[in-house]
Amino acid sequence: MRTKILVAILFSILLIPHTVSAEDTDGDGYPDETDHRDEEDAHIILSLVSWDGNLSGEWDSGDGAPDPYFEVCVYADDELVDCYDSPQWEDVFELSNAWNLTINIPDDSSNIRFLIECRDNDIANDDECDMQNDPGKWKGEFFFGWLTNTESEVELSGYGDDSRQNRDVNSTWKVISPTTEPTDSDGDGYDDESDEFPNDETEWSDSDGDGIGDNSDDFPNDASETKDSDGDGYGDETDVFPNDSTQWSDRDGDGYGDNRSGLNPDNCPDSPTTNVGSDGCSLDETLDSDGDGVLDSKDQCSNTETNASVDLDGCSINLQTDSEEDSFSNLQYYSAVVGIIGGALGIIGFILKRLSERKAKIQEKADKQIQNFRDQKIVETAQTVSTLHDEITKQ
């Protein structure tokens, strides 16, 4: 008895792991380990984009147009999901955007197979439309991997099959998978369609199109530069000193940088030769033969005496060059001319002033004479009146 109990217990222990059901988080009947969609049931949309029949073949008695309809059978990983019939269209040779079919597919599936049969609803019998150019086949067939593709368009054509030419048709079908998640091969959060580096998890965009990702491109908006080794802000392609952050240009190409505050600065950044000293200057740019402080290359008087005071041209202050003497002579000439003109104007002004004063005195004298003449006439008139008055009174 005890042996039987032990056997039963052991059997139960061995059986427990096999009877525990697999976890199904979303409760759709598919275990999580095989469920490709935990939030939404997988489905696809099949659309008939266009269809046209052979105009030269005989479809119905009396040369009537075909009356097409379709049977679509859908398989998921070789297991039949279902078969679906389309509407029937009467007397047509062409169809455009005629039918959309939504199909639920197993969440744990991966490859979908479509088998499509086209038929003409003839009065006598249903004739198959030929959608294959293989004489032994007439049904259309194609596959769709919905886990990695969001959309696919397929053309099914029977033109070229000489044995069934009177039933030849051409049709275009589109499949869309709304539940398909974009593929992100490198797992960087950017799907492959928008990721310019789908197999590099550190890169996803290349703004300047130079083939170097923005994350590692020191100049993401400049296709001519990608690296700045010394971090001075100048790309290695144009930086004459790519490993010296204090220098980046060398105008005269003598190996000394133009930045005076950097390492190995060039005190003569425009030397006429590359044969220079440690300061970047050639011998002509540093030689001062007479020791007056003015370099020979700029000294117009290169033989001045020692300790002589010189001007910016290296010439003694007491000496004047021909050009200076000419300038001084010209200055004297112009000064003399100005003096003469000024003196002449002064004399003319003096004369005009004296003439004006004389004219004023003459006018004043004339006015006085006129006034005296008037006064005299007034006195004479008064005397005459007085005499006449006395004579009249005496009479």
**Domain membership flag for residue 354:** no
Q: Same domain for 250 and 133?
A: no
Q: What pLDDT is recorded for position 385? A: 81
Query: How far apart (Å, rounded) are the C-alpha atoms in residues 229 and 84?
Result: 65
**Domain membership flag for residue 187:** no
Q: What pLDDT is recorded for position 41? A: 77
Q: What pLDDT is recorded for position 289? A: 66
Which of the residue ranges 93-102, 181-190, 278-287, 293-302 would you say has the lowest mean pLDDT? 293-302
Of 148 and 172, the structure prediction assigns the larger pLDDT to 172
Of 329 and 194, the structure prediction assigns the larger pLDDT to 194
CA distances from 181 to 42, 56, 82, 149, 391 (A): 11, 45, 24, 9, 154
Query: How far apart (Å, rounded) are the C-alpha atoms in residues 269 and 260?
Result: 9
Q: Same domain for 55 and 172?
A: yes
Would the pLDDT of 183 be above 80? no
Would the pLDDT of 116 be above 50? yes
**Domain membership flag for residue 360:** no
- Tokens coding 202: 């550190």
pLDDT tens-digit series, residues 353-384: 888 888 888 888 878 888 888 888 888 888 88
Q: What pLDDT is recorded for position 18? A: 44
- Determine the residue type at 64: G
Per-residue DSSP letters for 150-208? SEEEEEEE-TT-GGGGGGBEEEEEEEE-TTPPPP-TT-SSS-TTT-SSTT-TT----TT
Q: Is the dihedral of CA 26, 29, 35, 37 positive or negative?
A: negative
| Residue at a domain's end among 265, 299, 321 | 321
Q: What value does the mean pLDDT take over residues 308-325?
A: 66
Which domain covers residue 316, as residue numbers? 288-321
Tell me the percentage of the chain whose pLDDT exceeds 70. Answer: 80
Q: Same domain for 233 and 116?
A: no
The DSSP element (H or E) to which 332 belongs, if any, is helix 322-394
The distance between the two most distant Cα atoms of the chain, rounded to a whole number of Å, is 210
Which CATH number covers residue 106? 2.60.40.150
- SS3 assignment, position 98: strand
Of 373 and 155, the structure prediction assigns the larger pLDDT to 155
Q: Same domain for 272 and 310?
A: no
**Domain membership flag for residue 252:** yes
Q: What pLDDT is recorded for position 338? A: 86
Please count the structural domains in the chain. 3
**Domain membership flag for residue 13:** no
Q: Same domain for 49 and 166?
A: yes
- SS3 assignment, position 291: coil
CA 134 to chain centre: 53
**Domain membership flag for residue 215:** no
- SS3 assignment, position 41: coil
Query: How far apart (Å, rounded) are the C-alpha atoms in residues 36 and 25?
Result: 12
pLDDT tens-digit series, residues 37-47: 555 678 999 99
CA 377 to chain centre: 110
**Domain membership flag for residue 66:** yes
Which of the residue ranges 31-45, 72-86, 135-149 would you say has the lowest mean pLDDT? 31-45
Please count the helices (runs of H) and the strands (runs of E) in the chain. Answer: 2, 9
**Domain membership flag for residue 247:** yes
Q: Same domain for 48 and 156?
A: yes
Q: Same domain for 140 and 49?
A: yes
- The CB-side HSE value for 338 (13 A sphere, CA atoms) comes to 6
Q: Same domain for 245 and 296?
A: no
pLDDT tens-digit series, residues 221-277: 999 999 999 999 999 999 999 999 999 999 988 889 989 899 999 888 888 878 888
Of 167 and 102, the structure prediction assigns the larger pLDDT to 102
Q: What are phi and psi of 149, to 5 degrees?
A: -125, 135
pLDDT tens-digit series, residues 206-216: 999 999 999 99
Q: What pLDDT is recorded for position 88? A: 94
Q: Same domain for 74 and 85?
A: yes
Q: What pLDDT is recorded for position 296? A: 63
Q: Same domain for 308 and 251?
A: no
* Average confidence score pLDDT of the chain: 82
Q: What are phi and psi of 351, to 5 degrees?
A: -60, -45
Q: Is the dihedral of CA 131, 136, 141, 143 positive or negative?
A: negative
Query: How far apart (Å, rounded) are the C-alpha atoms in residues 384 and 246?
Result: 121
- Tokens coding 81: 């999901």
Q: What are phi and psi of 284, to 5 degrees?
A: -65, -25
Q: What are phi and psi of 59, to 5 degrees?
A: -100, -55
- SS3 assignment, position 6: helix
Question: Residue 56 region, left (φ>0) first, then alpha (ψ -120 to 50), else beta?
Answer: alpha
Q: Same domain for 281 and 292?
A: no
Q: Same domain for 170 and 91?
A: yes
Q: Is the dihedral of CA 155, 159, 160, 165 positive or negative?
A: positive
Q: Which of 224, 250, 223, 251 is nearest to 237 (CA)?
A: 224
pLDDT grade, residue 16 (50/70/90)? very low
- Tokens coding 385: 């009146």
